A and B are shown apart, each in its own frame.
Chain A
Amino acid sequence: MKILSTPNISRCIGCHSCSLSCARLVHKQLSWDSAGIRIKSSGGLTTGFTANHCLACDPAPCADACPTSAFSQRKGGGVIVKKKLCINCGACVTACPIDAIYEDRSGNVYVCIHCGRCVDFCPHNCLEMETVAMEEKKV
């Protein structure tokens, strides 16, 4: 099983290409926010950037918190998202310890599904799809 990781995030130049590609390709949207990976400056541009994305918890507290099974546990970490089942309660957003889930004004939620479509759009190879052993990932 593969998960999105950011081993070279120190190389990030803040172009937002990853966020824009996730919004465009996964969610059919144009946005900085409605994406599974979001780039922030880590205390101003002079200190570089951080990537806010799902760290693939297993078990995932957001899946546990979801009352309608819109989020369910993904093998190897993270969640499988079934949008049709979501009632926009925001429980997953509250449950995520690292603020990796974005909630828009209508209550729609956006989380990394570890599909890897952002990886090719990073010009500095900050992102990788990392293979994880199932047992290792249990936290």
Chain B
Amino acid sequence: MIADHFRVLIVNLSTGKGRIVEEDGRNSEVGGSGLAAMLFNKYGFADKAWDDPQQPVIFAIGPLTGYFPLMSKTVCSFKSPYHNQYTESHAGGRSALALRFAKLDALVITGKSKRLCCVNVSSRNLDIKDIEFLRGKDVLETGKILRSMYKGSGHRSILRIGPAGEKLVAMSCINADTYRHFGRLGGGAALGAKNLKGIVIQGDAIFDTPPGKDYSKLYAEVFTQVTATDMMKKYHNLGTPANLQGLNDIESLPWRNLQATSDPAIDGINGERFATDTLLRNSACSGCPVGCIHVGCVREMFNADHRYTFKQVAYDYEPIFSLGTMLNVTEARSVLNILDVMEKVGLDAMSGGVALAWATEATEKGFISETETIVPLRFGDAEAYQLATQHLGNSSNDFYKLLGQGSLKAAAEYGGADFACVLGQEMAGYATGEVFFAAQTLGFRHSHLDSGGYAYDQKHSDQDIEGVIKFLIDDESGRAFMTSMVSCLFARGVYKNDLLAQCLQSVGYTKLAGSIDDAGRHIQKLRWQTRIATGFTPEAITIPKRFYKIKTWKGPIDAAYLDSLKTGYGQAIMQLAGDK
């Protein structure tokens, strides 16, 4: 399916009809992030609210998806319920290859169904089923029922939301094939606002491979690089949780709502501990031989007569940070138990954990009480956090409804904004220093993956404002191209520009192969212009005081340096977006 144009399916839930459109832009918008931004500009509305039925939710893949290993992500873009601005969320799983084999570069959902529904797409099928009977069902049960309703086992992707998405919680996620997520910034609510509970994508098309032997030869070389070298080892050995010990050792791991950056209790929840005590097996995204998905097991006796049940919960660095160190839950199985509830209600585990950490400190300091939290919150009390997660996902009362819109929204009502760990959205697990704090605060997705700020912090102790800002802008440009491909960012060490150019060339994208840097800069600019058109201003985002009061391996945070970085980075973003 090598073509200069994009093949896009637009599905309108208000009319129940879809249409295929062909869009130009392969050499400029590339796919993934760039394609999603382009489609939002065409089918979205910058000035309408995130939950306006006309707003699109967009799923886009890249030119090499299916053709090369680890080109296995899907970009989902939408106007976020969290900040009412344009955003992206990325997920692995099977959706990328499923879209490829459904003969689509992108799927755009517009309109709103009158009742809860499921969209089913393949290369020769589109249908929309009423599934009102699944209202309120959790993510795992929904997945099981959708599996039984549609054919294509193993060769399909099942995206779905839980109660949190249905209730328009701004921290709700879209679950992708049980173990992956379009996690951040409220994709679940974006679907919930459309009464769209599930999307089943069946990949049933067959394409000819590019002519000649070059493609298959290059594929084998790339495959060898990603499997036979140490380059990807950290992702399939302990996985990302290997970083917990390292960051704790250098006083850069947030503990107890970022009241500390290191704690000996890491022994109970580091990567080794999770692997030794809970790891059941690995799993992979389709098209990726690395297999970085680590599935942990919790065995639970539910009846005194030795009656057991067990849960399989996929874990990564970030949820162990947000539900472990941030909540002071220091036993691996307890972390998995909370994560299991997050999964079921369909919450983003990172945002949910950080929000509960704020609520716990707010309880300690007397800003809120059991009247608001329903269950008493105490750092380390895993069972209470499981119950609180249920309340957060279900918006059980006014407090949880507000907290689900963001910790700062709750703090504005109840107090405690100084210690809300929010950098544009609830923080990622890196208390590495000023560069990361500025980078997440103003990053396009408010993600640790927008740029390598956390890595920069760990390698530099000097203060170089201009150098940092140049690094963040340049690094983002390269990543914007990678996420337009749509490559897993774990492969960024393998897919350097030279190799990307060879891969593009081997399948026939010769022009794009020669303009990678230009395309990256163009997409970076397009995304920022789109975000700014929906209301982004750097000055409107503040950094809570907590981030100024911590100590990292470099020593206490330098407030003036952090402020200068934020100001300079914000100016650089606005400049690049306005640059003709």
Q: Taking beta carbons and an 8 Å cutoff, which residues of A are in contact with B?
A: 13-17, 20, 23-25, 28-34, 38-41, 44-46, 48-49, 104-105, 121, 123-124
Pick the residue among A13, A33, A121 that contacts B206 (CB under 8 A): A33
In the complex, the answer to whether B207 meets A31 with C-beta atoms within 8 Å is yes
In chain B, residues 194-239, which have Cβ atoms closer than 8 Å to a Cβ of chain A?
A: 203-209, 216, 219, 223, 227
In the complex, the answer to whether A13 meets B282 with C-beta atoms within 8 Å is yes
Q: A15-B289, A20-B287 are in contact. Are A45 and B155 (CB under 8 A)?
A: no
In the complex, the answer to whether A13 meets B284 with C-beta atoms within 8 Å is yes
Pick the residue among A39, A49, A121, A124 that contacts B223 (CB under 8 A): A121
Q: How far is the CA of A4 from the CA of B36 in the complex (A)?
A: 42
Q: How far is the CA of A23 from the CA of B287 in the complex (A)?
A: 13
Pick the residue among B143, B204, B223 that contacts A44 (CB under 8 A): B143
Q: A41-B154, A45-B179, A46-B312 are in contact. Are A28 and B291 (CB under 8 A)?
A: no
* Distance of B409 from chain A, by nearest CB (Å): 35
Neighbouring A residues of B178 by C-beta, 8 Å = 44-46
Q: A15-B291, A121-B289 are in contact. Are A29 and B227 (CB under 8 A)?
A: no
Neighbouring A residues of B208 by C-beta, 8 Å = 28-30
In the complex, the answer to whether B290 meets A38 with C-beta atoms within 8 Å is no
Q: Taking beta carbons and an 8 Å cutoff, which residues of B are in contact with A?
A: 1, 66-67, 69, 97, 100-101, 124, 143-144, 147, 153-155, 177-179, 203-209, 216, 219, 223, 227, 281-291, 293, 312
Neighbouring B residues of A13 by C-beta, 8 Å = 281-284, 291, 293
- Going nearest first, the 9 A-B pairs with the smallest beta carbon separation are A40-B154, A15-B284, A13-B291, A123-B289, A13-B284, A31-B206, A32-B155, A30-B207, A40-B153
Q: A13-B283, A15-B284 are in contact. Are A123 and B290 (CB under 8 A)?
A: yes
Neighbouring B residues of A49 by C-beta, 8 Å = 154
Q: A15-B291, A25-B216, A123-B227 are in contact. Are A32 and B101 (CB under 8 A)?
A: yes
Neighbouring B residues of A29 by C-beta, 8 Å = 206-209
* Distance of A23 from chain B, by nearest CB (Å): 8
* Distance of B228 from chain A, by nearest CB (Å): 9
Q: How far is the CA of A25 from the CA of B286 in the complex (A)?
A: 18
Main secondary structure, interface of B, reads loop
In the complex, the answer to whether A123 meets B206 with C-beta atoms within 8 Å is no
* Distance of B29 from chain A, by nearest CB (Å): 22
Q: How far is the CA of A44 from the CA of B139 in the complex (A)?
A: 13
Q: A14-B286, A40-B154 are in contact. Are A30 and B209 (CB under 8 A)?
A: yes
Neighbouring B residues of A28 by C-beta, 8 Å = 208-209
* Distance of A127 from chain B, by nearest CB (Å): 13
Closest to B207 in A: A30
Q: How far is the CA of A34 from the CA of B312 in the complex (A)?
A: 32
Residue among B206, B207, B284 having the largest count of chain A Cβ atoms under 10 Å: B206
In the complex, the answer to whether B281 meets A48 with C-beta atoms within 8 Å is yes
Closest to B282 in A: A13
Q: A28-B209, A123-B289, A124-B291 are in contact. Are A38 and B155 (CB under 8 A)?
A: yes
* Distance of B276 from chain A, by nearest CB (Å): 19
* Distance of B93 from chain A, by nearest CB (Å): 9
Q: How far is the CA of A105 from the CA of B155 in the complex (A)?
A: 16
Q: How far is the CA of A128 from the CA of B253 in the complex (A)?
A: 44
Q: A29-B209, A124-B291 are in contact. Are A16 and B153 (CB under 8 A)?
A: no
Closest to B140 in A: A46
In the complex, the answer to whether A14 meets B207 with C-beta atoms within 8 Å is no
Neighbouring A residues of B223 by C-beta, 8 Å = 17, 121
Q: Given contacts A24-B216, A30-B67, could you give 18 more A-B pairs where the C-beta distance is less than 8 Å?
A: A13-B281, A15-B286, A15-B289, A16-B286, A16-B287, A17-B69, A20-B287, A30-B66, A30-B100, A33-B101, A33-B206, A34-B206, A40-B153, A44-B143, A45-B177, A105-B124, A121-B289, A123-B227
